[in-house]
Amino acid sequence: MAAFVRHRIPFAGRRSVTAPATCAQRHIWNLMQGQLPDAAFYDVSYWVALPGHGTAQDFLDVCAELLARHESLRTAFRRDADGSLVQHVLKAAEFEVEVWTLAPHDDPDGVRQAWERRMRHTPFDPARAPLIRFMVTVVDGAPVLAAFCVSHLAVDLTSVRLLADEMTRLLDARAAGRPLPPAVPARQPVEQAQLEHSPRGRALQARARAYWCRQLEGAPATLFPDRGGPAAPVRYSAGMSSRAVALAVPVLARRWRVSTSVVLLTVVAQLLCRRAGVPSCTLRLLTANRSDPDVRATVANLHAEVPVTIGLAGDRVEDIARRALAASTAAYANGLYDPDDVARLISSARGPGTPVDLSYCFNDIREEQALPDAAEDDEPVSGDSLRAAMADTVVGPDEFEEGETFFIVIDDEVPGWIRVMLNADHRALTPSEVHDFLHDIERLLVEYVENAGQEHGRAAAVSGARRGAPADT
């Protein structure tokens, strides 16, 4: 039977320092305050399959090394005398690890999932660092699976992926008795705060503020007028796993000359606009803010949400997609902004008591969103193959949670499939309408591939006829 021992492990970093909180830290802090009393809502759990060699002590040493390297993991937060949020990096303290020893018949995934459910109800105190906890399952003396739960104040999605990769590399080296690979140089949050207060940082924030003003000026007041019902929001989540979507998206990306993410964004925007009866919609895109080489390897929260307006003007969907590509590129370029200032802009955009509703979010969390090169041996995707793949599509309730009117997430953890998760307020979409929206995404993508194929066939026939070949060959 699985049993665990909870360890308190010391760590030691390079410095102790206090600095203003960064824009991204203040953004997540504000979101967390709005979610109270559910203080664990913005905690993130992530698991890592381990190579199955080394010892539990090797794993504990690796965790201590991770905290030593990444200051965000040992940072606490508090208000200073004037009410401003500050970050305080601890030089030394202890962190918590649960080491689970499993018998041969025990299920590591089941143990990990139970731990994650417990962490969901064990919030961090932001004033007490470190804001991370670990667990590891051990079989025959070797760690085989690990997980960590960490506050969103300390990390974003890119960071947890970086941590998982680094954990594996460090454990490999420790277990083999090799020197640990050095840390990749990266800007720490304290230095990020210094940049934001510099002339360059203030200029970037001023540019982003002007961008927000332009977006708010043209944004629809709402896409989902309140249809009544309980005043308190009740949200429902569903997920769609689709081979057809995974097959269709690259085809359209090549034909429209955009990224695969923009294909999905274009279709979601079209469906939203059609449902609302408006010619354009404004959504918030989630950005990692890592275009600067100095933060590519940073483990910290650099997350921001930027508005983008997608218009449906034009006869061809590929034209809409290319405008969506240009618009989203401009949005991502304005990811550094003062969240408190932006909140004031939003609340005053339509006058007192009637703010613009920007509670519509699109988040593509796939690691590879660019269009892959087409291989010579790739078989063309036909309408028949897509229709056959649609028979495998599964849509059902999902545990995904968000605090917005409409929040859609794209993932591809299972090769050959794309999973689309949608969380919506019942006042905007009922549970059955959430399911319909997901099916409509797949249906529209398949129809676009089929229509593109028909157009290509007609064009080939016309070209052949012009060369003197029979039009029906």
Beta bridge partners of 102: 139
Q: Residue 401 carries which side chain, given as an amino acid letter?
A: E
**pLDDT tens by residue, 234-246:** 899 999 999 999 9
Cα 186–Cα 76–Cα 347 angle in degrees, nearest 5: 90
pLDDT, tens digit, 9 for 90 and up, residues 130-186:
999 999 999 999 999 999 999 999 999 999 999 999 999 999 999 999 999 999 999
366 and 288 in contact (C-beta within 8 Å)? Answer: no
Which region, left, alpha or beta, applies to residue 416 given φ > 0 means left and ψ of -120 to 50 means alpha? left
As a whole number, mean pLDDT of residues 353-366 equals: 86
Q: Does pLDDT of 229 surpass 70? A: no
Q: What is the mean pLDDT of residues 199-220?
A: 95
Dihedral sign for Cα atoms in the order 316, 322, 327, 332 = positive
Count of other CB atoms within 10 angstroms of residue 305: 20
Task: State mean pLDDT over 64-74.
Answer: 97
Specify the 3-state DSSP secondary structure of 178.
Answer: coil
What is the side-by-side strand order in the sheet with 75-79?
Answer: 17-20, 85-89, 75-79
Higher model confidence: residue 404 or residue 17? 17
Measure the CA angle with vertex 156, ends 109 and 184; round to 5°. Answer: 95
pLDDT higher than 70, residue 190: yes
Which amino acid, residue 339?
P
Structural domains of the chain sorted by starting position, each given as residue range(s) with its CATH number in brackets: 3-179+188-193 (3.30.559.10), 226-462 (3.30.559.30)
Residue-wise pLDDT tens digits, 287-324: 989 999 999 999 999 999 999 999 998 779 999 999 99
Q: Can you state the angle between helices 157-176 and 56-69, rounded to 10 degrees? A: 130
What digits encode the pLDDT tens for the residues 368-426?
A: 766 656 554 456 788 889 999 999 999 999 988 888 899 999 999 899 999 999 999 98
Residue 265 host element (H or E):
helix 260-276
Name the 3-class secondary structure at 219.
Answer: coil
Q: Please name the amino acid found at residue 123.
A: P
Output phi, psi for 93, to 5 deg.
Answer: -175, -150
In what helix (H) or strand (E) does residue 399 lie, and over which residues does it extend? none
Contact between 336 and 364 under an 8 Å Cβ cutoff? The reply is: no
